[in-house]
Chain A
Amino acid sequence: MERILEVKDLKIQFDTEEGTVYALENVSFHLNKGEILGIIGETGSGKSVTASAINRILPVPPARIVNGEIIFQGKDVLQYKREEMNRIRGKKISMIFQEPMTALNPVFKIKEQMSDVIMHHQKINRKKAVKQATEMLEQVRIPDPEMVLDKYPHELSGGMRQRVMIATALSCEADLLIADEPTTALDVTTQDQILALIQDMRKNLDISVILITHDFGVVAEICDTVAVMYGGSVVEFTDIYTLTKKPYHPYSNGLLKAIPPVDQTIEKLNTIPGSVPNLLKPPPGCRFHPRCENALEKCKIDPPSLTEIEENHFIACYNPIKGGEDNE
């Protein structure tokens, strides 16, 4: 299978007035063409920083890329000059965000904003661009595209705005779509529609997707592979079926079991004691060790690196759950 993206050993720090934030360390994963990769993590896991790094929209400084490569379509994104990156951004890599309102300009109609983007990338006239915008809105299943085009962002519902964003992102025929918590601000019924839409687009347009989320359900619903992040590191990376059935890393396992199930009533939830680390002063060694039941002496000193324990199953752990606990 063709690899569209490969992130290798990415390490990023931020210099802030409170000190150095050790934001990313040991971040590696890859994405095959036409697949959906989920990056799941809690607050401070570094999932959004990772996304911004791929698209090179991290402000440098305060961010500092200490180490690593981001190979997109065979070339290291980090080596591109600013102008080269500007051409790739939007054209080859598109991004959508949690709150589409912040990405849309409140004083212009949807028509103007969408056609501006299309014209910028395709060098066609306004009339053709508007026509194409209409087609894109139809593709994202907006029932009355002409009406929506004639509205201002604030006149649309959250779900509608997210559809417009997706349509805009797709109009540039990008190869990679990065969706940063695209459904977090939406209600479940709307989320359901947007997730189905992303999946359809992937099939119809042969686009690859990185979906960043804190919600395991979202990942399980549409992703092919998943990278679990904790405290700035990827701790487990494999396909979604393996991860939910046989997680090896104690954090992935704990996280899965901490979610209250919809389909059965249980007495007590599994918890992970403590809270996420402060990345100004991350714990030495494995960043999860203070909360880990399986922690060894070694875990406190030396951070484990991501290694392939079974075929296409990567973990960063010295003492994984025995044989992968079966969650059936």
Chain B
Amino acid sequence: MNHNNSMAIYWRRISKNKMAAIGAFIVLFIVIIALLAPVISPYEPDAQDLYSSLNGPSKEHWFGTDIYGRDILSRVIWGARISLSISSLAVFLSILIGVFLGAIAAYFGGVLDEIIMRFFDILLSFPDILLAIAIIAILGSGRSNLITAITIYSIPQFARIARSTVVSEKTKEYVDAARLSGESEMNILFRYVLPNSLSPIIVQGTLRIGYAILIISGLGFLGLGIQPPAAEWGTDLSIARTYLRAAPHTGIFPGIAIFITVMGFNFFGDGLNEILNPRMKDR
């Protein structure tokens, strides 16, 4: 078996696993849309046209228009950009911090482990959305505070996963072998143990991006997230609520966008889990 071959096996597993393939397709699709938003969106997302307010889907406006006459398709496209960028940045930051702290706690153990993990246990005892609301209530709304809030409540999740994988990985013989090769403990942790502990973290990261998108929309819906006129699915949904009877399309399209995106990340994450840890299913 050579390396190309094992990549080929991964690829075969992805294409065999229908859920993973669908998830990967959705995620890829949304990422492309978000990247190409300025090019593909037919209108400016915040261009108002009060004469064509609350129009249904038509040739000019495929998804119709909202109360201010803004093109909903364009807003959904730009919304992807905001949701994805905030959620992935927040998840990325929480992986950096959470994995670092969790790995250190696991690897060195003892009092350090107790202090770090007990603190995270306290954080974990709050429901995610409540914690996020509390943080935003303190810091105020806005994009960077939103990222901070999501990062803070996500850190303990990654710390826990990193801790459990590092605890099992650090007992492998290659770690002892590295010690005999004179490597320092920090080097062993970051060059040897962590790279071998990444697959569950990647899986969790994917699932967490989906979840973060849901939280962003939720906060937007409550008026605590991204503030109008920026295009954000949850915020738009909240505005649409008032006119849902007269113009249901104003809510349906952002809603579908949230649904598909979150589902895509969940399928992809679950699929990745089966691909990277195939034993869970095979045996």
Contacts and interface: CB of A to CB of B under 8 A. Distances in A.
B61 interface: no
Interface stretch (B8-16, B154-162, B217-225): B8-16
Interface string B256-277: 0000000000000000000000
Nearest to A17: B12
A18 B12 CA distance: 9
Interface residues of A, number: 2
5 contacts: A17-B9, A17-B12, A17-B13, A17-B16, A18-B9
Interface string B1-36: 000000001001100100000000000000000000
A241 B273 CA distance: 53
Interface of B is mostly: helix
Nearest to B13: A17
Interface of B: 9, 12-13, 16
A99 to B, nearest CB: 15
Nearest to B16: A17
Contacts of A18: 9
A52 to B, nearest CB: 16
A155 B173 CA distance: 28
Interface string A1-34: 0000000000000000110000000000000000
Interface of A is mostly: loop
Interface of A: 17-18
Contacts of B16: 17
A17 B9 CA distance: 8
A135 B12 CA distance: 54
B234 to A, nearest CB: 41
A30 to B, nearest CB: 34
A17 B12 CA distance: 8
A17 B17 CA distance: 12
A17 B13 CA distance: 8
A319 B9 CA distance: 40
Contacts of B13: 17
Contacts of A17: 9, 12-13, 16
Contacts of B9: 17-18
A18 B13 CA distance: 10
A158 B20 CA distance: 43
A124 B156 CA distance: 57
Nearest to B8: A18
A17 B16 CA distance: 10
A18 B1 CA distance: 10
A64 to B, nearest CB: 18
B8 to A, nearest CB: 9
A17 B15 CA distance: 12
B43 to A, nearest CB: 48
Nearest to B278: A17
A54 to B, nearest CB: 23
Nearest to B12: A17
A18 B9 CA distance: 7
A237 to B, nearest CB: 32
B278 to A, nearest CB: 9
Rank and list the top 4 A-B pairs by shortest CB-CB distance, nearest first: A17-B12, A18-B9, A17-B9, A17-B13
Nearest to A280: B1
A184 B280 CA distance: 27
Nearest to A278: B1
A136 to B, nearest CB: 31
A17 B278 CA distance: 12
A173 to B, nearest CB: 33
B226 to A, nearest CB: 44
B273 to A, nearest CB: 17
Nearest to B6: A18
A18 B5 CA distance: 9
A242 to B, nearest CB: 39
A17 B282 CA distance: 11
A17 B1 CA distance: 13
A107 to B, nearest CB: 20
A18 B10 CA distance: 10
A17 B6 CA distance: 11
B18 to A, nearest CB: 15
B104 to A, nearest CB: 34
